[in-house]
Amino acid sequence: MGQFHDNTFPNEDGGYRVARDELLKAEIGLRKQIEAVAAMRRALPPGGVAEDYEFTSSSGRVRLSALFEDGKESLVIYSFMYGPDWEVPCPMCTAMLDGMNGQIPHVRQRVNFAIVAKAPIAKIEAFAKSRGWSNLPLLSSEGNTYNADYFAENDEGQWPMINVFHRSGAEVRHTWGSELFLTPPDDGLHNRHADLIWPLWAVFDMTPEGRGADWYPALSYD
């Protein structure tokens, strides 16, 4: 009989069950820690916004404040690494957005979501069409300072970032950013910051092979 439940897998021995119970104990602790960190994230005081940024969409110019739909007071923006002069965008960002394209109809039931890249909107839209992205709300930050202000761009180039904004009445404030990306690796751990919205890595983490030290997504696997 297991420590946490009475189910057993076919032909498992005692050592296998003991090891699994130890893992379950750690997984329960991890779940509690994830919930505690999420509560801390929700409790952050509101930050600031430098300006009501004007982006370019496929239908024209749109302000940050106009990205909030009625009844949805939070806005999540993912900064897509695709520079104005880049031939192709970041394969890592692309892999994540491949998955998000399917999730967006669900996400937008509760919150607003947008993808922002520095490339011109026509270039972003053309790439999106080639990937079959039919659900992602795409914007260009060409001509504004959003990327630089919210850590998605510096003198070294473009960077992936997730930022969250909240609207209260007519006021829009920044509430969270994936600053983990900006921190140095801790004891050899990669400073991954988007895992919570990117299930690819979670699938790999369930396997004996894990994520692998050198594997990264590609734009195609032909």
Q: What is the pLDDT of residues 192-221, one digit of tens each?
A: 777 888 888 888 889 999 888 788 899 999
Average pLDDT over residues 142-158: 95
Number of domains in the chain: 2
The pLDDT score that the predictor gives to residue 30 is 94
- Same domain for 9 and 98: no
Q: Do 12 and 74 fall within a single domain?
A: no
Q: What is the CATH number of the domain that holds 78?
A: 3.40.30.10
Residues 63 and 38 in one domain: no
If asked whether residues 88 and 8 sit together in one domain, one would say: no
* Whether the predicted model's global pTM rises above the 0.75 cut: yes
- 26 by DSSP, 3-state: which? helix
Instruction: Tell me if 108 is assigned to some domain.
Output: yes
| Mean pLDDT rounded to a whole number for the chain | 92
Whether 48 maps to a domain, the answer reads no
- At 218 the pLDDT is 93
Q: What is the torsional sign of CA 24, 29, 33, 35? A: positive
Domain for residue 190, yes or no?
no
Residue found by looking up tokens 């909030």 in the block: 68
Q: Would 70 be classed as within a structural domain?
A: yes
Lowest mean pLDDT among 51-60, 63-72, 180-189: 180-189
pLDDT(2) > 70 = no
Q: Where in the sequence is the domain holding 27, given as residue range(s)?
A: 1-43
Per-residue pLDDT, 189: 66
In this structure, are 133 and 76 located in the same domain? yes
Residue 20 has pLDDT above 70, yes or no: yes
Answer yes or no: do 171 and 146 share one domain. yes
**What angle separates helix 121-131 from helix 91-107, to the nearest 10 degrees?**
80
- Domain match, 103 and 170 both: yes
105 and 7 part of one domain: no
In a domain, 208, yes or no: no
Residue 171 has pLDDT above 80, yes or no: yes
Are 72 and 160 found together in one domain? yes
Do both 123 and 149 map to the same domain? Answer: yes
Q: Which residues contact 165 (CB under 8 A, 6 or more apart)?
A: 49, 64, 74, 75, 77, 172, 173, 174, 175
Residues 162 and 69 in one domain: yes
Q: What is the dihedral of CA 191, 197, 201, 203, to 10 degrees?
A: 150
Please give the pLDDT value at position 188: 66
Cβ atoms 58, 138 nearer than 8 A = yes
Q: What percent of the chain has pLDDT over 70?
A: 97
Give residue-wise pLDDT tens across range 63-88: 999 999 999 999 999 999 999 999 99
**In terms of domains, do 161 and 88 share one?**
yes
Mean pLDDT of 39-56: 94
